[in-house]
Amino acid sequence: MKVSLGVIFAALCVLITTVQAQRPALITNIDGRQTISLDGRWQIIIDPYETGYFDYRFEPSPNGYFKNAKPKSPSDLIEYDFDSSTQLDVPGDWNSQDQRLLFYEGTVWYKKSFDYQKKDHKRLFVYFGAANYLADVYLNGEKLGRHEGGFTPFNFEITNLVRDKDNFLIVKVDNKRHRDAVPTLNTDWWNYGGLTRDVNLVEVPDSFIQDYFLQLKKGSMDEIEGWVQLNNTPGKAITIEIPEASVKQSATTDENGLARVSFKARLNLWSPDNPKLYLVKLSAGADSVVDRIGFRSIQTRGADILLNGKPIFLRGVCIHEESPLRGGRAFSEDDARLLLSWAKELGCNFVRLAHYPHNENMTRIADEMGIMVWSEIPVYWTILWENPETFANARNQLEENITRDKNKASVILWSVANETPVSEARVKFLKGLIDQARRLDPTRLVTAANERHYVDATTQVIDDPLGEYLDVLGCNEYVGWYDGLPEKADALQWKVPDKKPLIISEFGGDALFGYHGEPNVRWTEEYQKNLYEHQLKMLRKIPSLRGMTPWILTDFRSPRRPLPRIQDFYNRKGLISSRGERKQAFYVLQNFYRELIQEGR
């Protein structure tokens, strides 16, 4: 029998998905639940040889560090001790907290002890906002499971393992890069390791609201459509209340615990000018969850992007999840407010959260501040397109991202990839992700940051075959930096499909804040300013351009950038330095966005 590679690929994907499905489904909207924070100081053991995991034959050891062993007699040999080890803050990457770990890529073990008063008819989960990259999680010496992917949440149930006193939660976090992982070996950002986001215990009743999806039906401005998923509780009544819009709707769950809803509501729609969020209360028996949800519609019509039925221009900027003033991974509400308020100061109504899902504070605060969001997974550069496990991993990260953020009004675009080289296998891989994004969320638009190429010295073409499957075309270009000098932009023509909106998802160049010279001197603020001036003139002429997200709001750490005194392991394409100083190009873009606002765009 001849079995095609496609069939084997599909079968392997099913198998891998089944294995992953053993981890309990995500509980969403952690902020709206009964939680106990496990943030704070955690004990750590740095373990570059993974001695706490493998024995000397390199087999997984039953007596790893997760046992948290203590000598019982003076003759006992135990070569580790969490209690006298150093500590790190959680949330927080390890690289920026301990000078020894700045470049470290490997395993660090984390331990937190806690007491917990068990309650009748309550279930308990431990929820991690993210751990970069691979997390093996243990409670009281028992393995709860593993999670792969550095930027999305995961949870485990611990109802039957937790005890009143001295629980010890141990997590082995490993941030080694791998060729077949997502992202792969090669990126342009710092590989911050550790428990980088909040860790919480989440208490829910026996039967609880696992997840829900409440958005305006595609194309409608007054019909809310969606579902509420209970944890496998069939035949149970659920209620949705939006008091301010006089909504009270009930439904009953089906045999899978799912209740579908669809109802009309007179709503004050969410937009950057009016970031209206409604208090939404969901209840089912003993459980109830409160959320703040904005309602808006997002569509395309030809080359236009329509927000609530009206054409918009996305005045954006790219952002990495890095805290500019503190350094290290951003994670807090304050970090989110700082980054997004700088984007607002620039005149943005839109941000591209590059190149992976940022922490949930970013999308919550974007909801509040009225900033539209491009949300992305780290399918970046040279992923192993033919590997079914890599695909399953990417799809899982996409699903976790959509699961977490699908009720955020700010998120208008799911992006499945950045600068991926054109090939048949890559289109198939990405098409699989696009289909999955649409299955999980039929209301938003799907995009990817692609590339362009030259057909002659002055003509650029965007004709990536992936474009056929996208709602909005994204394109990165570095005319004036990697591609000639800034003046090259003046004579360039763009051949761009005219039936879909285009976002120039990156352009820019490096400048060291405070370094001055003639506009033709690389790394000076004047060079970057000149580059922006030429770029903006060129981009204005592209008829289907409906947005832009220049690279990037602030300087960020990257191991690819060693040039002494200029880069010092920072990518300097920020419009703002890592100390918060605005470079000259910041004001060029700010003025341009002001002009657009005046033109009503």
Residues that bind ligand GCB (CB under 6 A): 188, 355, 418-419, 476, 506, 551, 571, 573
We find the least distance from the C-beta atom of residue 573 to ligand GCB, in angstroms, to be 5
Sequence-ordered list of residues with C-beta below 8 angstroms from that of 314, at least 6 positions apart, any chain: 305, 349, 350, 372, 503, 546, 547, 548, 549
We find the least distance from the C-beta atom of residue 424 to ligand GCB, in angstroms, to be 23
We find the least distance from the C-beta atom of residue 553 to ligand GCB, in angstroms, to be 12
Closest CA relative to residue 42, chosen from 78, 80, 92, 79: 92
Backbone angles phi, psi at 146, to 5 degrees: -130, 150
Q: For every residue of 531-550, which 3-state class applies, written as one string?
A: HHHHHHHHHHCCCCEEEECC
The DSSP bridge partners found for residue 558 are: none
Name the residue with the smallest CB distance to ligand GCB.
Answer: 188
Shorter beta-carbon distance to ligand GCB: residue 410 or 476:
476
Shorter beta-carbon distance to ligand GCB: residue 153 or 508:
508
We find the least distance from the C-beta atom of residue 426 to ligand GCB, in angstroms, to be 16
Closest CA relative to residue 596, chosen from 272, 308, 318: 272
Shorter beta-carbon distance to ligand GCB: residue 44 or 430:
430
Question: Is the bond preceding 552 in cis, omega lying within 30 degrees of 0?
Answer: yes
Please give the Cα distance from 26 to 5 (Å, whole number): 32
Please give the Cα distance from 552 to 189 (Å, whole number): 12
Shorter beta-carbon distance to ligand GCB: residue 280 or 466:
466
We find the least distance from the C-beta atom of residue 396 to ligand GCB, in angstroms, to be 22
We find the least distance from the C-beta atom of residue 318 to ligand GCB, in angstroms, to be 8
Q: 234-238, long-range: CB within 8 Å, 24+ apart, which pairs?
A: 236/207, 236/284, 236/285, 237/284, 237/285, 238/209, 238/282, 238/283, 238/284
Length of the chain equals 601
Shorter beta-carbon distance to ligand GCB: residue 188 or 291:
188
Structure tokens at 505: 């998802």
We find the least distance from the C-beta atom of residue 414 to ligand GCB, in angstroms, to be 17
376 to each of 128, 132, 238, 459, how far by Cα in Å? 19, 16, 32, 29
Shorter beta-carbon distance to ligand GCB: residue 355 or 529:
355
399 to each of 151, 197, 278, how far by Cα in Å? 12, 19, 25
Shorter beta-carbon distance to ligand GCB: residue 152 or 549:
549
Q: Are 308 and 269 in contact (CB under 8 A)?
A: yes
Shorter beta-carbon distance to ligand GCB: residue 96 or 476:
476
Q: For every residue of 318-350, which 3-state class applies, written as one string?
A: EECCECCCCCCECCCHHHHHHHHHHHHHHCCCE
We find the least distance from the C-beta atom of residue 341 to ligand GCB, in angstroms, to be 23
We find the least distance from the C-beta atom of residue 274 to ligand GCB, in angstroms, to be 33
Closest CA relative to residue 95, chosen from 190, 197, 207: 190
Shorter beta-carbon distance to ligand GCB: residue 188 or 211:
188
